[in-house]
Structure 1
Amino acid sequence: MSVYEAAGGAPAMLALATDFHARCLADPVLEHPFSHTGNPEHVRRLADYWGEVFGGPPVYSATHGGHSAMLGLHANMGAEDDLGDRFVACFVAALDGAGLPAEPRLRAALTGYIRWATDEVMAYSPADARVPARLATPRWDFAGLRA
């Protein structure tokens, strides 16, 4: 069973993205970048991205440009030092808020991913960072990063 399936599939990813986005908007540091996404489909795209990463269908890559496109949206922002920690905290709280199963192995996989992903995104935060083209969307399972 994939992390995507164990979490509850597409409905769970959408609930997670919705709760997470609301938490970020309520955070004094995360509010600014999250209130300026410029895309009314941000929550749906986030759900599609996480779904794909966790073993669901490749909706994000097929319709939104894949991993390089996602990193490009977040690159060169000059993010504050504690933005990553706040991002992770909002995600972890959203797991409960969205009603995802509290099964420890699932929670460890989800939390491990968001920590890894946050570090990757933050690495592209400097103004001179360059995102390589055509990076494969990562796949995350119960053992961690697969590809």
Structure 2
Amino acid sequence: MTSLYEHAGGDEALHRLEEAFYTKALADPVLRPLFPERVPTHVPNLTLFTAESFGGPDRFTRELGFDYMIRVHRGLRITDEQRQRFADLYLEALDEAGLPKDEPFRRAFREHVDFGTRVAQQNSHAETDADLHPLREVPHWTWDGDPD
């Protein structure tokens, strides 16, 4: 079966998605505290993460490691409103980036974003390592909507 990564269109399509999302996040007043300025590595790093999550190359793990993802979220104190806005803007960016519109892909993508934003939100409030979400590696998302 084709991976979500291949179905999405690989690195090029995912880079378009991350750029469309990041542009929206930078302009959004609810997300501005989380994205106060453009960081040159944000889109490339998020592209690597999404690619690996969707069954593409494991470059995020090899080049950055999951601890990087934990570090960038710690202390952000993401609110419920910010978590939801992040997810909403991400889903809007799918169409802008020209990603597939079929329901199985969109469902898996929505579930991936919902899961990821909940992990990031929990980690953003963690006072100690024990408060962190137990996830310690890039989740490999499947068509069934569950990380394996």
Query: How big is the shift at 1:80?
Result: 2.4
- Residue matched to 1:64: 64
List gaps (5 residues or longer) in structure 1: none
What TM-score, normalized to structure 2? 0.90
- For residues 135-146 of structure 1, the aligned pairs below 5 Å read 135-146=136-147
Please, which moves more after superposition, 128-137 or 49-58? 128-137
Distance 2:47 2:115 in 1: 18
Query: How big is the shift at 1:44?
Result: 0.6
Q: 4+ residue runs of structure 1 moved beyond 6 angstroms?
A: none
Distance 1:19 1:129 in 2: 34
| Aligned 8 A contact 1:68 1:134 in 2 | no
* C-alpha spacing 1:134/1:145, structure 2 compared with 1 (3 Å): closer
Distance 2:40 2:84 in 1: 25
| Aligned 8 A contact 1:75 1:129 in 2 | no
- Residue matched to 1:26: 27
Query: How big is the shift at 1:100?
Result: 0.4
* C-alpha spacing 1:6/1:27, structure 2 compared with 1 (3 Å): same
Distance 1:116 1:139 in 2: 12
Distance 2:44 2:17 in 1: 10
Q: Secondary structure at the match of 2:35?
A: helix
- Residue matched to 1:100: 99
| Aligned 8 A contact 1:68 1:133 in 2 | no
Q: How much identity, in percent, do the aligned residues show? A: 32
- Residue matched to 1:90: 89
* C-alpha spacing 1:27/1:134, structure 2 compared with 1 (3 Å): closer
* C-alpha spacing 1:140/1:118, structure 2 compared with 1 (3 Å): same
- Residue matched to 2:109: 110
Instruction: Give the letter aligned to residue 21 of structure 2.
Output: F
List gaps (5 residues or longer) in structure 2: none
Please, which moves more after superposition, 46-55 or 124-133? 124-133
Instruction: Give the letter aligned to residue 115 of structure 2.
Output: W
Distance 1:134 1:127 in 2: 13
Q: Deviations over 1:78-132 (max 9, x none)?
A: 2223110000001000001111011111111111100011011111121514248
